[in-house]
């Protein structure tokens, strides 16, 4: 068993629902106990969809377990077909139904429905949501496009003279982080390049569209977590190459354009020449200088984490001090990326471990998921969301892609927003104790919960830290904890004047300074940290 | 004992023996795990550990929504394939998880091991685990167990199962103890305080007829129960809890539920009658609240009178709320659906419902949607899975979960309860205008 406070992904059948809800005339019959219909409100509330997801649940209860749950499933499947008249059906089990082993696929065969029925095998106790979405998409495409596959060894007919190149876009799904606007941004980009879009899937595709996937020349994979399995099957079956670059950030978008142009055999120079992104200039302009080497921790699904780290490092000039993902299936990609920044990748879906890592690294900015928001809030660190899982506020009404040139603009604004502005930073570093302009206040442009300066004696924090060995376990998290309340773990103790001097260091780097000084004291066998030690350490680490 | 304002048995004109449409099919409802979301705030030193699958963890965090910014007192021990394959001993695993949990949250005094569909289906004996763990972590922490699984419980029944599991821990009073009153069901703190003041003004409290609330705000402060305890249900979904209290000799006072002016008055009246409080005192104490509420409801009545309302099943609060809306605000009941109907506990409510009301128990969601669409009611009470889709079809909805998360009981909240239904209608008019 795994103790779980927050889970980064839902169970695999939620991934299957994301595919079913994205598709148009497909229905999903899910063998599941009463209560599993909660998943509907992910779509109706968080994504605000104006329709019910196309999912029929058997919702069996305890009294049904003594009877014939298989019959219950058959009735639900038959009724769903009669009522909704889908062009294809998906059937499967949730975690509890997996235990009672009714074999939805076999039962549906017996029903002999006049449409393709795809049986999904989603092992709920080993796999998770993205895997479920990927597997479901793959099974659907195999079932519907498979019959149109050319004979093995057949050569692909070339493009007719004068015809425009055609591609599929794979990956956008329901409940995807910014999928709606990413799709629009990338579709526009491809159109500008002179490439036609054959099918977008799963988002908005019909069963008939899926059967036409083979008609394109190549595939654009936007979200490998959902579509890479399908794309590699299409490569094998239809000889369609697929894109590898994820167009997040201005640089990656340019690379993506070149890659697509090469696959389509066209000239991208015109589109590249009038590439219209403000973010590179914004990042070059002098007020962004203070962003240089700000220490950032990145966590999310593998695709967004790798892309965000690259943008943070190359386009904004941050220093990536940690990178991680909860997508075990894509651990290798994240480890490769981590090497670029000289850090160790954190491959983990245990919220408590990620929390410990952030507390240890003391970054100045966290780029993560909804869960990292909790962590950052508790530790009082600025944070921006770059990846699912997200909440309702990250399904915004306004146009806000992450991909393409407009996506790069959105990233710049979103990531810089939580940071304190440059001049404010300087002033707080120089003058302390201003009643309204002090370090415990939130960045003043964020308003809201800026508290009045605490006038408590300066020793309490240390006293607290000394008596509470694990001070980050508190029931009260309504206020972000002051950083100085972290436990003193090193063997060296702080002299009161050094403690006072430490407080003069701007708060957003103070945690780091404390750790560095303690590490220095440990290495140099300094029993008591004095003001001298503090500055010795500072000099030592600013090599 | 002077009887005042006898509660009328209106079976002739009400719905006492009205036929109920019983449906089976797909049910669009929450499971009992959802009860954790308000219970963990109510009992301030309790922790809820669900033993279940990733689905259970996902449900709670989705339903808990924004509250997850607090450090909540609930978590999930996710069963994995090693547990299922018997490679890991589930009990050892559970001990390990509980140990880690209590290290992290040392202030916890009461730990609930909450059963789920997967744990029930694989027959994991959580009650034995609870007693074993209780022995290990005593006296600091008490460990109890109940099931919030979807196969056994619907939404608010999770609270019923939780409270019923707590009853055996209650201190038992002897037969010669003074009579006491127990109010059963989690209420908003503000409502609890209002009722406390009313009961003490009526002469309850102290050693003479003490009044206690169950669940208490702290696990260390459990009310005593015995043959001289009389209890009032504040919520309609507490069948098992009532039965457990009755097994200790306590007696339930039959009454409608304290929703609206009429419900609150009769509910208080049931206690006053049982404890021999005279009519003049009763009238004097309740008059200010009753009159305030009556006046406050007038404003909403203008907006709600004549409007047709349709209830999808959700929490078992549907029948009392429908009674309030029909009798005090003149709304018309198209259909009142409830996930489960406890006829004995609802007898007084059913008697007050307008004769001929369509009642349904259970659900076949697609058939019910067909009925709803053909009736075209002015307002539909339903869950969040249906609300936005019905709004998109042009209907006005009121999402039902809010009725469980908002203070709605008692006099001072009667107008707030009415406003919950008036608001979507007012909003629709404003946005059109």
Between positions 92 and 121 of B, the ones with CB within 8 A of A are 93-94, 96-97, 100-101, 104-107, 117-118, 120-121
State chain B's maximal CA–CA distance in angstroms: 70
Backbone torsions φ then ψ of A369, nearest 5 degrees: -105, -175
Q: Inform me whether the pLDDT recorded for A506 exceeds 80.
A: no
Identify whether the C-beta of residue A213 lies closer than 8 Å to the C-beta of residue A168: yes
How far is the alpha carbon of A347 from chain B, nearest alpha carbon, in Å?
Answer: 19
Using CB atoms, pick whichever of B53, B151, B152 lies closest to residue A11: B53
How distant is the Cα of A239 from the closest Cα of chain B, in angstroms? 38
Share of chain A above pLDDT 70, in %: 87
Catalytic residue among A265, A267, A287, A497: A287
Whether residues B81 and A125 touch (CB distance < 8 A) is answered with yes
Res. A101 pLDDT band, cuts 50 70 90: confident
Taking residues B412-418, report their average pLDDT: 95
**Which residue in A439, A460, A459 sits closest to A451, CA to CA?**
A439
pLDDT digits (tens, 9 = 90+) for A367-398: 999 999 989 888 888 999 999 999 888 999 99
Which structure tokens are listed for B289? 């609240």
Q: Is the pLDDT of residue A259 over 90?
A: yes
Stated pTM of the model? 0.89
| Residues near A509 by beta carbon (within 8 Å), at least 6 away in sequence | A364
- Residue A60 has its nearest CB partner, among B29, B151, B391, at B151
Residues in a beta bridge with A166: A196
Q: Tell me, what's the pLDDT at A421? A: 61
Among A169-178, A185-194, A212-221, A527-536, which is the least confidently predicted range? A527-536
Residues in chain A with CB shorter than 8 Å from the CB of B388 are 44-45, 48-50
DSSP code of B73?
S
pLDDT tens readout for residues A299-317: 999 999 999 999 999 999 9
Q: Smallest Cβ distance to A56: which of B26, B107, B117? A: B26
Q: Decide if B78 and A128 are in contact by the 8 Å CB cutoff.
A: no
**The pLDDT of residue A452:** 38
Residue A491: per-residue pLDDT: 61
The whole-angstrom distance between A13's CA and the closest CA on chain B is 9
Q: What does each C-alpha distance from B36 to A85, B40, B50, B61, B73 come to in angstroms?
A: 39, 6, 9, 11, 9
Candidate from A12-21, A282-291, A491-500, B416-425 with smallest mean pLDDT: A491-500
pLDDT digits (tens, 9 = 90+) for B96-127: 999 989 988 889 999 999 999 999 999 999 99
- Residues 298-357 of chain A with CB under 8 A from chain B are 352
| Residue carrying structure tokens 């009159």 | B291
3-state secondary structure of A324: strand
Residue A276: predicted pLDDT: 74
CA distance A524 to chain B (A): 33
Q: What is the pLDDT of residues B208-218, one digit of tens each?
A: 789 999 999 99
Please tell me which residue of chain A has the smallest CA distance to B67. Answer: A374
pLDDT value at residue A182 = 98
C-alpha of A402 from chain center: 11
Cα nearest neighbour of A41 on chain B: B385
Q: What percentage of chain A reaches a pLDDT higher than 90? A: 67
Distance from C-alpha of A191 to C-alpha of A188, rounded to nearest angstrom: 5
Question: How confident is the model over A473-498, as a mean pLDDT?
Answer: 52
Dist. CA B87–CA B231, nearest whole Å: 48
pLDDT at A172 over 70: yes
Pairing of strands A2-4, B74-78: antiparallel
For A43, which DSSP code? I
* Contact predicate A321/A363, CB 8 Å: yes
Task: Determine the pLDDT at residue A480.
Answer: 37
Instruction: Tell me the pLDDT tens digit for each residue of B259-276.
Output: 999 999 999 999 999 999
Average pLDDT over every residue of B268-294: 96
Residue with tokens 């992450």: A402
The per-residue pLDDT for B7 is 46
- The yes-or-no answer on residue A350 being catalytic is no
**The predicted structure's pLDDT at residue A488:** 42
Round to whole Å and give the CA distance between B226 and B280.
30
Nearest to A3 among B100, B149, B384 (CB): B100
Span A2-23, pLDDT tens digits: 999 889 999 999 999 999 999 9
CB neighbour burial string for B259-274, b if at least 16 within 10 angstroms, e if fewer: bbbbbbbbbbbbbbbb
Asked if A74 has any chain B CB less than 8 Å from its own CB, the reply is no
Provide the pLDDT for residue A173. Answer: 98
* Interchain proximity B117–A35, CB inside 8 Å: yes
Q: Is the pLDDT of residue B87 over 80?
A: no
- Cα B430–chain centre separation: 33
- Which residues 75-134 of A have a C-beta within 8 angstroms of B? 76, 79, 83, 94-96, 99-100, 123-126, 128
Question: How large is the average pLDDT for residues B421-425?
Answer: 96
pLDDT tops 50 at residue A525: yes
Q: What pLDDT is attached to residue B396?
A: 97
Nearest to A374 among B62, B69, B118 (CB): B69
pLDDT digits (tens, 9 = 90+) for B370-405: 999 999 999 999 999 999 999 999 999 999 988 998
Q: Which of residues 51-70 of A touch B (CB under 8 A)?
A: 51-52, 56-62, 64-65
Q: Give the per-residue pLDDT at A429.
A: 66
Task: Provide the pLDDT for residue B66.
Answer: 52
Mean pLDDT rounded to a whole number for chain B: 92
The reply to whether B390 touches chain A by the CB within 8 Å rule is no
């Amino acid at each position: 068993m795994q103790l779980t406070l927050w889970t980064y992904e839902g169970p695999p059948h939620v991934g299957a629902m994301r595919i079913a809800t994205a598709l148009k005339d497909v229905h999903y019959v899910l063998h599941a106990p009463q209560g599993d219909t909660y998943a509907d409100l992910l779509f109706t509330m968080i994504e605000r969809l104006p329709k019910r997801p196309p999912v029929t649940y058997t919702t069996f209860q305890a009294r049904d377990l003594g009877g014939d749950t298989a019959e219950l499933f058959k009735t639900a499947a038959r009724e769903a077909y009669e009522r909704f008249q889908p062009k294809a059906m998906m059937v499967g089990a949730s975690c509890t139904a997996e235990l009672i082993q009714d074999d939805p696929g076999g039962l549906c065969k017996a029903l002999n429905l006049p449409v393709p029925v795809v049986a999904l095998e989603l092992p709920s106790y080993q796999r998770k949501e993205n895997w479920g979405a990927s597997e479901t998409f793959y099974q659907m495409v195999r079932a519907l496009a498979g019959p149109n596959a050319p004979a093995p060894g057949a050569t692909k007919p070339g493009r007719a003279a004068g015809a425009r190149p055609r591609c599929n876009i794979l990956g956008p799904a329901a409940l995807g982080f910014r999928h709606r606007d990413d799709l629009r941004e990338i579709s526009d980009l491809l159109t500008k390049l002179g490439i036609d879009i054959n099918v977008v899937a799963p988002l908005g595709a019909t069963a008939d569209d899926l059967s036409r996937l083979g008609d394109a020349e190549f595939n654009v994979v936007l979200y490998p977590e959902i579509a890479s399995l399908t794309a590699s099957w299409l490569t094998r079956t239809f000889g369609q190459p697929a894109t590898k670059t994820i167009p997040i950030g201005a640089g990656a978008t340019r690379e993506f354009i070149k890659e697509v142009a090469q696959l389509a055999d066209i000239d991208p120079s015109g589109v590249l020449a009038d590439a219209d992104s403000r973010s590179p200039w914004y990042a070059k302009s002098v007020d962004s200088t203070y962003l240089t080497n700000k220490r950032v921790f990145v966590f999310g699904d593998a695709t967004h984490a790798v892309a965000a780290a690259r943008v943070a490092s190359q386009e904004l000039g941050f220093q990536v001090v940690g990178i991680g993902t909860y997508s075990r299936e894509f651990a290798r990609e994240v480890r490769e990326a981590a090497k670029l920044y000289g850090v160790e990748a954190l491959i983990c879906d245990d919220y408590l471990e990620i929390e410990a890592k952030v507390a240890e690294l003391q970054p100045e900015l966290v780029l993560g998921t909804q869960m990292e928001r909790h962590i950052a809030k508790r530790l009082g660190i600025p944070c921006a969301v770059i990846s699912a899982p997200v909440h309702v506020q990250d399904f915004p009404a306004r146009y806000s892609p992450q991909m393409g040139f407009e996506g790069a603009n959105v990233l710049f604004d979103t990531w810089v927003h939580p940071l304190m502005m440059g001049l404010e930073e300087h002033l707080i570093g120089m003058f302390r104790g201003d009643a309204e302009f002090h370090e415990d206040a939130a960045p003043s442009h964020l308003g809201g919960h800026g508290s009045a300066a605490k006038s408590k004696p300066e020793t309490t924090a240390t006293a607290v830290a000394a008596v509470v060995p694990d001070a980050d376990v508190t029931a009260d998290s309504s206020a972000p904890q002051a950083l100085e309340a972290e436990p003193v773990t090193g063997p060296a103790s702080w002299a009161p004047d050094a403690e006072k001097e430490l407080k003069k260091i701007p708060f957003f780097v103070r945690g780091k300074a404390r750790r560095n000084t303690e590490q220095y004291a440990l290495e140099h066998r300094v029993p008591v940290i004095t003001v001298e030690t503090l500055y010795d350490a500072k000099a030592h680490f600013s090599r | 004992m002077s009887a005042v304002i006898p509660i009328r048995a209106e079976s002739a004109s009400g719905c006492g023996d009205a036929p109920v449409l019983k449906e089976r099919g797909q049910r669009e409802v929450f499971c009992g795990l959802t009860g954790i979301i308000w219970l963990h705030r109510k009992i301030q030193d309790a922790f809820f550990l669900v033993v279940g699958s990733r689905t259970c963890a996902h449900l709670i965090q989705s339903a808990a929504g924004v509250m997850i910014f607090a450090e909540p007192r609930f978590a999930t021990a996710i069963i994995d394939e090693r547990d299922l394959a018997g490679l890991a001993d589930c009990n050892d695993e559970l001990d390990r998880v509980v140990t880690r949990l209590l290290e992290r949250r040392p202030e916890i005094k009461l730990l609930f091991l909450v059963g789920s569909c997967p744990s029930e289906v694989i027959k994991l004996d959580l009650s034995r685990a609870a007693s074993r763990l209780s022995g290990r972590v005593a006296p600091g922490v008490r460990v109890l167990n109940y099931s919030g699984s979807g196969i056994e419980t619907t939404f608010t029944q999770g609270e019923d199962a939780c409270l019923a599991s707590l009853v055996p821990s209650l201190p038992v009073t002897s037969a010669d103890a003074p009579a006491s009153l127990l109010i059963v069901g989690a209420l908003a703190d503000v409502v609890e305080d209002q009722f406390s003041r009313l009961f003490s003004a009526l002469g309850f409290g102290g050693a003479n007829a003490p009044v206690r609330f169950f669940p208490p705000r702290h696990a260390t402060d459990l009310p005593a129960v015995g043959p001289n305890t009389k209890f009032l249900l504040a919520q309609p979904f507490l069948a098992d809890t009532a039965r457990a209290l009755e097994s200790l000799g306590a007696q339930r006072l039959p009454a409608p539920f304290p929703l609206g002016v009429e419900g609150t008055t009769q509910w208080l009246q049931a206690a006053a009658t049982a404890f021999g409080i005279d009519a003049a005192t009763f009238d004097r104490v309740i008059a200010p609240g009753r009159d305030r509420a009556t006046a406050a409801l007038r404003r909403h009545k203008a907006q709600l009178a004549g409007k047709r309302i349709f209830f999808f099943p959700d929490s078992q609060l549907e029948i009392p709320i429908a009674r309030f809306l029909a009798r005090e605000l003149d709304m018309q009941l198209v259909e009142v659906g409830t996930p489960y109907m406890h006829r004995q506990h609802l007898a007084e409510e059913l008697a007050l419902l307008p004769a001929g009301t369509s009642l349904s128990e259970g659900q076949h969601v697609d058939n019910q949607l067909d009925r709803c669409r053909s009736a075209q009611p002015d307002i539909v009470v339903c869950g969040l899975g249906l609300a936005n889709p019905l709004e998109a079809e042009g209907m006005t909805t009121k999402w039902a979960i809010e009725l469980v998360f908002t203070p709605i009981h008692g006099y001072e909240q009667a107008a707030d309860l009415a406003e919950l239904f008036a608001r979507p209608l007012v909003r629709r008019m404003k946005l059109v205008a």
